[in-house]
Amino acid sequence: MPTSAEQIDELIAAGNDWQAQALALLTDRVAHQQAYEALANNLVGVVKSQMEFTATVDPDEVAPTNVEGGTFTAIHSAINAAPAASLVKLTLLSDKVYDLTTCTISGRTVEFTKSGAGANPVIKPLASLYQVTSNVLAGFQIKTAGGVYLNDVDVDFTAAKVDAGLPWSAALRGLIRFDRGIRVDVKLRNSYVTAGADVSAIADCASASIVRASFLDSTFDGAVYGVHNLGVSGGVAIVANSGVTTLNGGAIVNNATGLGTNLLMS
């Protein structure tokens, strides 16, 4: 049966459309393949960016980058910028004081390391009011699990009350903020911890919380404990220590009567 010229033109047009679609699919496949290969080649970098976060914190930096590998002016800003549950490595500069406001760890492990040949950098928790009933000190809020490691970094708990007429909170004066059912790892190496007459602590322990602490070549000076049992049942602490100095009422733990029950200490 003869085919008209119009039918031939339609067949040619349909063939061209099919060819264009096939080329488009091929182009998409090539682009997707290239994207996959680029991702595969950088897989280590992609995974690292979610598992490890590094930054330098300098309170005097005038132009912080506020990105991974860069500079921040505040500890809480650097921690908040890191992925949840990542290892956060923060470098603090010698001879500088870092005012600390409360920040949430969210499963992260935060490791502080000193840079420079001068005196240890100092983390100083700031004071604030809690529900207009008591004074509290800033700290690291764990929320389920996390870790805080201090290497050649000091802690100063001597901030004054915001309201001198109100007491300090008994439970909110630890560098590791108390919460129910948390698990926390804490390490001090070559750290000097200072407190005044009011009790402070590196980590509080109570109410089904678990604290694993390591204190090496460090000093507790004043009314400060490495691990503070808040007197609420259910907390467990494992404390390893070596080369620790205690001065002016400082102690590694506040209560040795729980040894073998809810406290193990080397």
Task: For 68-85, write each residue's pLDDT tens digit.
Answer: 999 999 999 999 999 988
Among 40-44, 49-53, 89-93, 157-161, top mean pLDDT goes to 89-93
pLDDT for position 2: 52
pLDDT for position 208: 82
pLDDT for position 165: 92
pLDDT for position 42: 63
pLDDT for position 156: 97
More confident residue, 237 or 38: 237
Residue 199 reports pLDDT greater than 90: no
| Nearest of 119, 148, 125, 156 to residue 215 by alpha carbon | 148
Residue 33 reports pLDDT greater than 90: no
pLDDT for position 50: 63
Q: Residue 113 in contact with residue 139, Cβ under 8 Å?
A: no
How far is 175 from 202, CA to CA, in rounded Å?
Answer: 5
pLDDT for position 110: 96
Provide the mean pLDDT of the chain: 86
Give bridge partners of residue 218 from the DSSP assignment: none
pLDDT for position 205: 82
The average pLDDT across 41-52 equals: 64
pLDDT for position 196: 84
**This model's pTM is above 0.75:** yes
Q: Tens digit of pLDDT for each residue in 218-260?
A: 999 999 999 987 766 677 889 999 999 999 999 998 865 565 6
Residue 5 reports pLDDT greater than 80: no
Question: 33: alpha, beta or left, given left = phi > 0 and alpha = psi -120 to 50?
Answer: alpha
Q: Parse the chain into domains and list their residue ranges.
A: 1-41, 51-265
What is the number of alpha carbons within 13 Å of residue 212 lying toward its C-beta?
Answer: 7
